[in-house]
Amino acid sequence: MQNTCLDSKLMQEDTSILVIYTGGTIGMQQDLETGALVPVNFDNISREIPALEGYHYNIDSCSFDTPIDSSDMNPYEWVGIARIIEAKYEDYDGFVVLHGSDTMAYTASALSFMLENLNKPVVFTGSQLPMGMLRSDGRDNFIASILIAGEKIDNTPRVPEVVIYFENMLFRANRTFKYNAENFLAFRSGNYPHLAHAGINIAYNDEYIRKPNFKKLIVHKELETNVAVLYLYPGIQPALVNAVLETEGLKGVVMKAFGAGNAPTAQWFLDSIRRAVARGIQIVSVSQCPEGKVEPGKYQASLELKKAGVVGGKDITTESALAKMMYLLGRQFGKDAFSSLFETSLRGEMSS
């Protein structure tokens, strides 16, 4: 098992937060030989945050045995994070997951689907500069995430959902994508308002934050990984489309369509899609645009897809669509149930 809790205690008090350290830039150091950034263990990070010692929180930590760059994150590790949260759910008021920013939107989206009836905060954060560097954004991101994970109104968590906190902004995780590899504000939520902004105070937009349902947590760990993302572009060739759609064992495809969900109307393309649907492959269209939504049938160029059985992903992000597809296929719903559940907002991932 790659991720075991080391249970190192950082502080004692009444609000309890579990920090799950997976790796990412926040915990990296420069390799003296190669100059490349490599993940290091959690003790090196916690040493950088003496500021936390002044807060009244009980903070425990738990770390991947081998912290990783998030480029190496896979559904296997997502399940590992979900297992930790499941095992420790009753013991903590909230969770902070330290994770690389590159694939954070995928992991956090996946966790949002896997954790049904989540009634506690799961705050993903990381940084663009390692914690050990003088100008690191890691300290602020980490400390604010702890505060958000512990924030309550009337003894009820204020943010009972999976979120991403980066550079003063709190977003619903399954609405985000990484859009900047240089700025401290690395994430954007194109189709949903931010949930909070941290200035002198943390200003919460409570009307956009999910409400707790007080039901028992259910953790779904079956994810179908035989899925693909098919990015359409002018000049795309039959051989490439067919190579993707005829991949052995393929169960689902997220098709990154043009604009409002449009695709080539060429006969060969539509035939390939129809053949794949007839073989039982679930195809969902999402937009290549970071804002706005797919509207099946608005144009002739999407009407045929709709008739062929392609499901419109509305304004969902690609990251979230992929995670939702793995989750729904993992639960082995039939074609009709899959389509109707995909078109329904399950965790606030799409507008109705």
User: Of residues 15, 46, 101, 125, which one binds ligand ASP by CB under 6 A?
Assistant: 101
The rounded distance, in Å, linking the Cα atoms of 234 and 134 is 45
Q: Closest by alpha carbon to 228, among 162, 105, 322?
A: 322
69 vs 161 by CB, closer to ligand ASP: 69
- Indicate the pairing of strand 196-198 with strand 202-204: antiparallel
Residue whose CB is nearest to ligand ASP in the complex, by number: 100
Q: Does 70 bind ligand ASP (CB under 6 A)?
A: yes
- Return d(Cα 276, Cα 272) in angstroms, integer: 6
> Contacting ligand ASP (CB under 6 A), which of 3, 18, 24, 61?
24
Per CB under 6 A, 145 contacts ligand ASP: no
Q: Is 128 in the site for ligand ASP (CB under 6 A)?
A: yes
Question: Is residue 109 a contact residue for ligand ASP (CB under 6 A)?
Answer: no
For CA atoms 187, 191, 195, 199, the dihedral sign is: positive
Using CB under 6 A, pick the residue from 67, 80, 94, 100 that binds ligand ASP: 100
For the record, the structure tokens of 82 come out as 């979900």
Q: Which of 293, 320, 260, 258 is nearest to 269 (CA)?
A: 258
**Among the residue ranges 53-61, 80-88, 97-105, 337-345, the one whose residues contact ligand ASP (CB under 6 A):** 97-105
Least Å distance, CB 56 to ligand ASP, is 29
Residues 6+ apart with CB under 8 A from 327: 110, 113, 114, 220, 223
Stretch that binds ligand ASP, among 67-75, 143-151, 224-232, 327-335 (CB under 6 A): 67-75
C-alpha to C-alpha distance for 115 and 130, rounded to whole angstroms: 29
Q: By CB under 6 A, what part of segment 236-295 binds ligand ASP?
A: none
107 sits near ligand ASP (criterion: CB under 6 A): no
Of 53-61, 63-71, 140-148, 220-228, which part binds ligand ASP (CB under 6 A)? 63-71
Query: Strand, helix or coil at 239?
Result: helix
Helix, strand, or coil here: 319? helix
Choice from 69, 93, 167, 349 touching ligand ASP (CB under 6 A)? 69
In this chain, which of 48, 102, 167, 349 binds ligand ASP, going by CB under 6 A?
Answer: 102
- Give the integer Cα–Cα distance in Å for 25 and 170: 19
- Which of residues 121 and 126 has its CB atom nearest to ligand ASP in the complex? 126
Nearer to ligand ASP, 102 or 319 (CB): 102
- Compute the radius of gyration of the chain from its Cα atoms: 21
Minimum distance from residue 186 beta carbon to ligand ASP (Å): 7
| Amino acid code (one letter) for 348 | G
Burial class (CB in 10 A: 0-12, 13-18, 19+), 293: middle
| Residues found near ligand ASP in the complex (CB under 6 A) | 24-25, 69-71, 100-102, 126, 128
